């Protein structure tokens, strides 16, 4: 058994929206296919994945470094001990050969796209959904559905408060029971009015999280924390720069409710530093690392281990995502849940039409792998990739 080819295309993201820091209209995603020499129904069994949302395609790194290194590796070195799968950790080791430690940036996303395609390939070889393959591999009792919240709450140029309330009402109509909205793109006073407008629709603060997307300095982060304290929000996400652990530690002393961060930490070492210096509170705060941005599932599982050996629950992990890969990872590793971005970030964002969304949870069909081929807007890109 061996890998015969690895392909990548850059797919534009459909998202003419902005948070307090980033406009997504020019964003792209790397869609990767790993083709094996195993043939079923006249076609080679092929793993497909992408590198999550919000960080651009990684065509150069994949085509110049990672794909050539994979082809240079002895195929026998990439097979699991039982001989039935490809070993994702060995694939990761092969593609990272001669890479220096540290500096985990775009490289971590490129590696993730390829590593996750190996999990899709393995699940297809076993003819099971990816969550089952992941749970079996890591010896985890999987969860059968994923708690999901609707992430949005964007800024609108006109009639901002009414449109924000309408947006939240729309999510309720779609079956969501928990929500997240942006802050940090307006004055503190305006943002407080926006939070009140959202709460007037969703009810209690326990149903609503806010996300500053890393915008604030320490003083602003603390001011927002004090202003929001009485709302009792579900969590306060990425208040400051993702690598400024001291801001998190300051807030942990000052802000009584849950904090969340981690979607922009791309390595186990970064998470270790968050735990060492960020004062994340056990049984309260949330971690949000995304396997699609941080070397794939191999490293993500190490992050889960690190959390547990440091006294946190894996249910405190709510990976950034909003797509099919995150759904299967959350179920397979039995972590806390993830998000949905209803109506934006197509074609990779969102769940397939057969997925059941309701009562604040989502569950997949029994499609093999991540089920990406069942996504009508993504299928033409997959066909282009593997034709």
- What residues are labeled active site? 182, 320
Residue nearest to Mg ion (CB): 211
The closest of 153, 83, 120 to 324, measured between CA atoms, is 120
Residue 346 — φ and ψ, nearest 5°?
Answer: -70, 155
106 binds Mg ion (CB under 5 A): no
Using CB under 5 A, which of the segments 39-47, 48-56, 210-218, 357-365 binds Mg ion?
Answer: 210-218
Q: Which is nearer to Mg ion, 211 or 374 (CB)?
A: 211
Least distance (Å) between residue 54 CB and Mg ion? 9
Least distance (Å) between residue 353 CB and Mg ion? 26
CB 299 within 8 A of CB 111: no
Residues 305-344: x where in contact with Mg ion by CB under 5 A, - otherwise, as a string = ----------------------------------------
User: Does an H or E element contain 363, and which?
Assistant: strand 361-363
User: Does an H or E element contain 332, and which?
Assistant: helix 324-333
Q: Which is nearer to Mg ion, 119 or 171 (CB)?
A: 171
Q: Which residues contact 210 (CB under 8 A, 6 or more apart)?
A: 153, 180, 181, 182, 183, 195, 228, 233, 235, 236, 237
Tokens of 30: 């790397």
Least distance (Å) between residue 237 CB and Mg ion? 5
Tokens of 104: 């985990």
Least distance (Å) between residue 238 CB and Mg ion? 5
Using CB under 5 A, which of the segments 43-51, 195-203, 206-214, 273-281 binds Mg ion?
Answer: 206-214
Compute CA distances 350 → 31, 52, 126, 173, 343, whole Å: 15, 11, 25, 16, 8
Choosing from 115, 211, 285, 299, the residue that interacts with Mg ion (CB under 5 A) is 211
Tokens of 102: 């540290």
Q: Residue 384 and residue 387: Cα distance in Å, rounded?
A: 6
Q: Which is nearer to Mg ion, 22 or 26 (CB)?
A: 22
Q: Which is nearer to Mg ion, 61 or 212 (CB)?
A: 212
Q: Residue 105 and residue 42: Cα distance in Å, rounded?
A: 39
Q: Which is nearer to Mg ion, 62 or 326 (CB)?
A: 326
Least distance (Å) between residue 17 CB and Mg ion? 13
Using CB under 5 A, which of the segments 53-61, 99-107, 193-201, 211-219 binds Mg ion?
Answer: 211-219
How many residues sit close enough to Mg ion to count as binding (CB under 5 A)?
A: 1
Binding site for Mg ion (CB under 5 A): 211
């Amino acid at each position: 058994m061996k890998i015969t080819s690895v392909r990548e295309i850059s797919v534009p993201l459909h998202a003419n929206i902005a948070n307090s820091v980033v406009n997504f209209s020019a964003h792209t995603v790397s869609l990767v296919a790993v083709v094996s020499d195993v043939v079923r129904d006249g076609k080679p069994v092929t793993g497909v994945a992408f590198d999550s949302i919000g960080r651009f395609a990684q065509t150069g790194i994949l085509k110049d470094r990672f794909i050539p290194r994979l082809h240079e590796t002895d195929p026998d070195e990439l097979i699991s001990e039982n001989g039935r799968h490809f070993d994702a950790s060995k694939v990761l080791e092969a593609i990272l050969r001669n890479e220096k430690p540290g500096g985990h940036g775009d490289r971590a996303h490129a590696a993730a796209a390829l590593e996750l395609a190996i999990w899709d390939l393995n699940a297809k070889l076993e003819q099971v959904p990816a969550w089952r393959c992941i749970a079996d591999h890591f010896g985890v009792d999987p969860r059968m559905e994923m708690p999901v919240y609707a992430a949005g709450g964007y800024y609108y140029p006109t009639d901002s408060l009414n449109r924000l309330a309408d947006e939240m009402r729309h999510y309720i109509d779609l079956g969501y029971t928990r929500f997240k909205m942006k802050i940090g793109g307006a004055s503190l006073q305006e943002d407080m009015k926006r939070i009140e407008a959202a709460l007037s629709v969703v009810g209690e603060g326990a149903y609503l999280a806010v996300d500053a997307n890393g915008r604030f300095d320490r003083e602003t982060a603390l001011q927002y924390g004090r202003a929001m304290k009485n709302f009792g929000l579900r969590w306060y996400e990425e208040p400051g720069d993702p690598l400024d652990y001291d801001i998190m530690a300051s807030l942990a002393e000052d802000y009584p409710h849950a904090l969340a961060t981690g979607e922009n930490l791309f390595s186990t070492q970064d998470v270790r530093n968050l735990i060492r210096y960020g004062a994340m509170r056990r049984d309260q705060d949330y971690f949000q690392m995304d396997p699609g941005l941080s070397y794939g599932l191999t490293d993500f599982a190490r992050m889960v281990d690190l959390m547990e050996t440091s006294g946190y629950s894996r249910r405190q992990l709510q990976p950034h995502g909003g797509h099919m890969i995150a759904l299967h990872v959350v179920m397979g590793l039995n972590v806390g849940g993830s998000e949905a971005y209803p109506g934006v970030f197509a074609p990779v964002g969102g769940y397939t039409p057969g997925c059941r969304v309701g009562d604040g949870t989502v569950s997949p069909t029994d499609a093999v792998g991540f089920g990406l081929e069942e996504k009508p807007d993504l299928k033409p890109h997959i066909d282009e990739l593997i034709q």
